[in-house]
Structure 1
């Protein structure tokens, strides 16, 4: 059984900056838990009015506190909002649940916000059960990731944990096979048999898959390519992977005669 219950913030995605905060407050499909405004912030009257109209709590804090909570000292503009992500939960809770995930992605060292955002968008569209996004070692779930995902990040089935190594250990202990993508010397993604409980590992843009995660990998997969192309961007590879998994599952669920 997984015992790490995660962070209290595993229910929210924090956005910062006047325009992003105003955008989430004016989107009726998003639930905002609270807004925090720095004591020295200027030009935030519209944000206060929007929060009041939605019945969203507004707290005041020091400028330093806002910077710490936002995790971005240059672009927070003295305001942030915690947006409820209804499908986000700790990995531990997901693995302990009776209806736990069967097919998940494990993001290991992906540090470019655009790549993480596109992975969240693609995996959600393909119906992947969960995307494991560690709190350390990957891009933060911030406005840049939200923008790259076209807003899907708020609704993605994100599973949170401390590190990718912790996630690999927990998934392995829960009976998942860890299948990692690499450019060559792996079984063809299109030909291999996929187990019912699988965690597909996506390595970082430069370092690839970290050694602690690599030690837990049970199989290596590759995407066949032509034209002397050596590899794909990690978000492009994730798209190919996710929709191949979706195609397989669709064929099982709805067999074609």
Structure 2
């Protein structure tokens, strides 16, 4: 596990948010608050659109690499909307989960995302968690939506600066958190105790399950407790992004965070 995480630490997916498409790339290059590591431009890209990107990169001193159109699609992870260009934007608070847990000040509060595949939900969760001062949001490399331009848009740009922690899968992350001494509390509408009355330990990790399947079996076996958000009016549950918002600001109210 440690060897695998050490290898993952040098992965670009643990260091950058990759945006693709002409407009998102130009927006990233035009934002002085963002550090762009590099631009990758398809070798077939020519004309005014390509020139605009090349000029914008030159103004920022950002290197531009040429690659085949197929390679750009592979790197972008999107076969339809890359438009032959991508940019790797430095995410200063993104790091491997293992590095965060082994650091001098491990996060006191962690959200573990398990099977959340809707970009809008991921973006809103990242925005809310950052605003609430949550210590880390585990966004696994597999089984959860990629942090792409749709997620960046849903987060209103906060995804670039969110405290994202990377792991291979949600199950790997759950195991690592438990080994590090974190109780895992699953947000579950059927739980007997509510978020507002439960005793919440520190440190603590909360599991937010997917939009349809909820918490996966592999993660569920590491869960140590469950908490619910009380519902009225015949409403069964909240959207996962709404539930995350309630959770995050209950932690703010209790002054649990960071």
Pairwise same-fold verdict (TM > 0.5): yes
| Residue 212 (structure 1) aligned with residue 207 (structure 2) | no
Which residue of structure 2 aligns with residue 27 of structure 1? 31
Check whether the contact 1:2–1:170 (CA below 8 A) recurs between aligned residues. Answer: no
Distance in structure 1 (CA, Å) of the matches to 2:217 and 2:137: 20
1:131 to 2:126 alignment: no
Q: How does 1:193-204 map to 2 (within 5 A)?
A: 193-204=199-210
Q: Distance in 2 between matches of 1:100 and 1:132?
A: 13
Superposition TM-score, scaled by structure 1 size: 0.96
**Aligned match for 1:143, one of 149, 162, 166:** 149
Deviation sequence 1:161-192 (CA, Å, 0-9, x none): 10000000000000000000011233110001
Q: CA RMSD in A?
A: 1.4
Match of residue 63, structure 1, among 60, 63, 69? 69
Distance 1:127 1:119 in 2: 12
Q: TM-score with structure 2 length normalisation?
A: 0.95
Structure 1: 5+ residue runs without aligned partners?
Answer: 253-257
Which of residues 28, 33, 37 in structure 1 aligns to 2:41?
A: 37
Structure 2: 5+ residue runs without aligned partners? none
Which of 149, 162, 167 is 1:156 aligned to?
162
Number of aligned pairs? 252
**Which structure 1 residue ranges, 4+ long, deviate > 2 Å from structure 2?**
none
The whole-number CA distance in structure 2 between the counterparts of 1:245 and 1:148 is 23
Contact 1:34–1:57 (CA<8 Å) still a contact in 2?
Answer: yes
